Structure 1
Amino acid sequence: MPVRMRAQSQERTWEWLRESRRAWPSAKRVLDLTLGSVLLIIAAPLLAAGALALAAQRKPGGVLTRSPRIGLGGRLFVLRSLRTRRLRLDLLSRLPHVVRGDLSLVGPVPLAPDDERAWAPGADSDTPKTFAATTARHWRQELKPGLTGLAQVRSRSVMPWDEPALLDQHYAEHHWVGLDLAILARAVHTPLRRAIRGLIRRGEAHLSDTDHRRSGYSAAE
C-alpha cells in the first residue's frame, strides 16, 4: 500500500475513533442520568403532593415558575421549578432537567441571559445569535449548569476566595466525578445536620419547660 494511502487510512481510523468517543456518554452524564433518575423516582410522590397543594391555593402564575437560563454551549432553555422552597421542593422539581440533559447534578449556578457573568468580555449578549455561538466564549458555556454546586455548598463561607463566581470557575477548571460526589454528599449532609439540630433543640426546649419536681415540693425545703 502506498505511503499516502496508508496515511489517509490511518487518518480515517483516528477520525472514526474521535467520533466514537464523542458519542460515548461521559462518566458525568452517566452519573447524572442514573442518580438523577433514582432521585426523581424517590421524590415523585413528594413533588406530586406539593404540586397538588399549590394547585389548591390557586396562586397567580400557576404551580411552576418558568425562567430562561443559559445552558451548555450558550443554548437557552426554560427552567421550571415548583413555586415553593419547603423541603427544597423547588430544587427537587428541577430533576427532570437533569434527566433530560439541560442541567447536571453538579455544576455552576444556572444564569439568566441578561446576567453579565454569563458572557466573556467582548461578547455581544444582546444579539440572539450569540446565545448559540459567540466568538468570545465564556468558561461557563463549556459545561452544564448544576442542580447544586461548589458555590452553593460553600455559600455560608466568608472567605474571600469562596466568592461564588470564583468557586464556579474553580469547579469548571477542575471538575471530575469524585469532586461531584463530594459536593453531592456535602449538599445532602448540611441540610440533614440542620434538621437534626433543630429536632434536638426542640426536644431540649420541651425538657426545660417540664416541671420534674416531686409532688409537694416547696422552695423553703
Structure 2
Amino acid sequence: MPLLLPLPALPGLRPARPPAKRVVDLLGALILLALLGLPLAGVTALLYATHGRRPFAREAAVGLAGRPFRTWRLRTADTGRLGAVLDRCALDVLPQLINVLRGEMSLVGPRPEPRTDRPDRLLVRPGMTGLWQVSARSDLPWEEMALLDRHYVENHWLGMDLAILAQTPRAACRQRLA
C-alpha cells in the first residue's frame, strides 16, 4: 500500500468533493468516450501501425491526498505530423478519461504532476483541464500557474467546472495553434 501524505491544514481551503462533481466526472467521461472512442481507437491504431510501438504512455503522478497513480496519454514524441496535431490540440490527453473513470483524476482540476511541493494541490483530484489551461495555457510563468491552481482549489464549485469545460476545446486549439 502506498504511503499517503497527510492532508495539509491550510486555512481557507476546503477539500470538499461534492458528490455532484463526481457524477459530472463520470457522466462526462462516459459521454466523451462514447463520442470519441471510435476516432480515438482509429488514431491509436494509426500510431501503432506507423510507428510500430505502443501508442500509449503512462506517466507517474500524485493525486488526491498524495496518492500516487499513473496517467495515460497518447505518445506524440517522434510520431511526425500526427503526433504534432494530437499535441497541438491537446488530444494526446484523451486517454486520461480512463483515469477519470477510475477516480484518480477529475475532468477539471490542477494538471497532474509527478510530485508536488504544493500541499494545496493534494486537496483535490488532478484534472484533465483546469483554470490556467483556459486562461493562457502554458504561456504563463510557473508562479502564475500555481496561483491559478490555488485559486481553483480554494474556490472550485460545479458551475466553475462547467465553465472551464465549456472553454477548454476552444482554448486548447486557439492557444496551441497560435
Is this a same-fold pair by TM over 0.5?
yes
Separation (CA, whole Å) in 2 of partners of 1:164 and 1:25: 24
Against the structure 1 CA distance between its residues 58 and 192, is the aligned structure 2 distance closer, same or farther, given a 3 Å change threshold?
A: closer
Q: Following superposition of structure 1 onto structure 2, how do residues 39-50 of structure 1 map, counting pairs within 5 Å?
A: 39-50=32-43
Once structures 1 and 2 are overlaid, which stretch shifts more, 85-94 or 72-81? 85-94
Quote the RMSD (CA, aligned, Å): 2.8
Separation (CA, whole Å) in 2 of partners of 1:119 and 1:162: 13
Cα offset for 1:150?
A: 0.3
Residue 187 in 1 paired to residue 168 in 2?
A: yes
Structure with higher Rg: it is 1
Residue 110 in 1 paired to residue 112 in 2?
A: yes
Residue 66 in 1 paired to residue 58 in 2?
A: yes
Q: Which of 63, 70, 74 lines up with 1:78 in the alignment?
A: 70
Residue 94 in 1 paired to residue 96 in 2?
A: yes
Against the structure 1 CA distance between its residues 159 and 190, is the aligned structure 2 distance closer, same or farther, given a 3 Å change threshold?
A: closer
Against the structure 1 CA distance between its residues 149 and 194, is the aligned structure 2 distance closer, same or farther, given a 3 Å change threshold?
A: closer
SS class of match (1:52): helix
Cα offset for 1:155?
A: 2.1
Against the structure 1 CA distance between its residues 159 and 36, is the aligned structure 2 distance closer, same or farther, given a 3 Å change threshold?
A: closer
8 Å Cα contact 1:50-1:89 kept in structure 2: no
Cα offset for 1:46?
A: 1.0
Separation (CA, whole Å) in 1 of partners of 2:104 and 2:120: 17
Please name the residue that 2:26 is paired with.
33
Counterpart of 1:43, as a letter, is L
Separation (CA, whole Å) in 1 of partners of 2:129 and 2:138: 16
Please name the residue that 2:117 is paired with.
119
CA deviation vs aligned residue, 1:103-135 (integer Å, no higher than 9, x gap): 10000010012xxxx125xxxxxxxxxxxxxxx
Moved over 3 A (4+): 156-162, 191-195
Against the structure 1 CA distance between its residues 57 and 171, is the aligned structure 2 distance closer, same or farther, given a 3 Å change threshold?
A: same
Cα offset for 1:140?
A: 0.7
SS class of match (2:111): coil
Aligned residues: 152
Higher relative contact order, structure no. (Cα contacts within 8 Å, ≥ 6 residues apart): 2
CA deviation vs aligned residue, 1:170-221 (integer Å, no higher than 9, x gap): 00000000000111111123356689x99xxxxxxxxxxxxxxxxxxxxxxx
State the TM-score, normalized to the length of structure 1: 0.61
Counterpart of 2:123, as a letter, is E
Taking only the aligned residue pairs, the percentage that are identical comes to 43
8 Å Cα contact 2:137-2:175 kept in structure 1: no
Q: Any stretches of 5+ residues in structure 2 without a counterpart?
A: 1-16, 77-82
SS class of match (1:163): helix
Cα offset for 1:94?
A: 1.2
